[in-house]
């Protein structure tokens, strides 16, 4: 006998939709050289739809791997939402790997596309000629990227697409993201995280850290891949949580603020 309770796949699509529909006015704040850049989650979700459509137009399909060599900011979050939700696999690349190991994980993961911040183009350019599977480079930012050869501009790609991308049906057991160790014993080792595992990890973090709507979340880069640092590390990021009471009484009361730096 099966239950009569409501049932739905535990996927990143569900996280995206709930964030857009229930907390669309929450803010994502990215810190860059020009200061704090803000966007509502509704805007981020809209741009994630456009990114998915752009990637599909480049030939990214089910189980295609999309690498990201990026800092923590709004565009990276858009990739976190778009790539798994379209049925592809997000491969977060560790910029601290040696050139040989960086080339190894991109080739071993069979990345089809790599999205890279313009400030990290030199890192990727050093291994460009060793990459055997990458068909497209997408660059975020206006700095010179000629060392990579022909590239796509991130903002131009998503500007050419309309919102309303039709997300495909996804099995919660499908791979959503791919993460490699830092190769402390031989070559780096990869682990594929399922949609279900990411969904359940998210719920576990809410309970473990007792997060509520008014809390701030600061996402900072870790020193390397999973298994290298103490604490909660997922997909090369170490997460720190701050409650309003921890920040003192001098700040503005801006609720539902997610901070990516």
Fold of 25-244+256-260: Rossmann fold (3.40.50)
The pLDDT score that the predictor gives to residue 248 is 45
For the chain, which residues make up each domain, given as ranges? Answer: 25-244+256-260
**Predicted local confidence at residue 44, as pLDDT:** 96
Looking at residue 19, what is its pLDDT?
92
Instruction: Output the CA–CA distances (angstroms, integers) from residue 152 to 11, 32, 77, 142, 145, in the order listed.
Output: 29, 22, 19, 11, 10
What is the per-residue pLDDT for 207? 82
Long-range contacts of 217-220 (CB under 8 A, 24+ apart): 217/241, 217/242, 217/258, 217/259, 218/242, 218/259, 218/261, 219/72, 219/259, 219/260, 219/261, 220/72, 220/261
Rounded Cα gap, residues 214 and 217, in angstroms: 10
Cα separation, 3 vs 37, whole angstroms? 46
- Residue-level pLDDT, tens digit, the chain, 261 residues: 988 888 889 999 999 999 999 999 998 988 888 888 899 999 999 999 999 999 999 999 999 999 999 998 999 999 999 999 999 999 999 988 999 999 999 999 999 999 999 999 999 999 999 999 999 999 999 999 999 999 999 999 999 999 899 999 999 999 999 999 886 788 999 999 999 999 999 889 888 888 887 787 776 654 444 444 333 333 333 334 444 444 444 444 333 333 333
Say how far apart CA 90 and CA 219 lie, in whole Å.
Answer: 18
Q: Cα–Cα–Cα angle for 250, 253, 256, nearest 5°?
A: 135
Residue 184, φ and ψ in degrees, nearest 5: -65, -25
Single pTM value for the model: 0.83
Burial class (CB within 10 angstroms; exposed 0-12, middle 13-18, buried 19+) of 216: buried
CA angle, 30 then 196 then 106, to 5°:
60
Q: Is 236 left (phi over 0), alpha (psi -120 to 50) or beta?
A: left
Q: Which two tokens stand for residue 200?
A: 């359940």
């Amino acid at each position: 006998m099966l239950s009569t309770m409501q049932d739905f796949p535990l996927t990143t699509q569900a996280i995206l939709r709930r964030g857009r529909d229930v907390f669309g006015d929450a803010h994502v704040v990215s810190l860059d050289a020009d200061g704090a850049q803000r966007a509502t989650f509704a805007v981020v979700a809209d741009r994630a739809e456009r990114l998915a459509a752009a990637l599909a137009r480049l030939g990214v399909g089910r189980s295609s791997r999309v690498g990201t060599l990026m800092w923590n900011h709004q565009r990276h979050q858009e990739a976190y939402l778009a790539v798994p939700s379209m049925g592809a696999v997000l491969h977060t690349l560790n910029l601290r790997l040696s050139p040989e190991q960086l080339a190894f994980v991109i080739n071993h993961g069979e990345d089809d596309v790599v999205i890279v911040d313009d400030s990290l183009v030199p890192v990727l350019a050093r291994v460009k000629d060793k990459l055997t599977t990458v068909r497209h480079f997408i660059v975020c930012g206006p700095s010179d990227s000629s060392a990579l050869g022909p590239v796509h501009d991130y903002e131009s790609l998503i500007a050419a697409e309309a919102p309303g991308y039709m997300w495909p049906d996804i099995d919660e057991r499908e791979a959503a993201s791919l993460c490699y160790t830092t190769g402390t014993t031989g070559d780096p080792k990869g682990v594929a995280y399922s949609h279900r595992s990411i969904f359940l990890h998210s719920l576990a973090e809410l309970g473990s850290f007792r997060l509520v709507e008014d809390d701030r979340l600061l996402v900072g880069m870790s020193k390397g891949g999973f298994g290298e640092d103490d604490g909660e590390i997922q997909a090369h990021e170490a997460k720190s949580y701050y409650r309003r009471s921890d920040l003192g009484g001098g700040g503005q009361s801006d609720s539902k603020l997610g901070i990516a730096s």
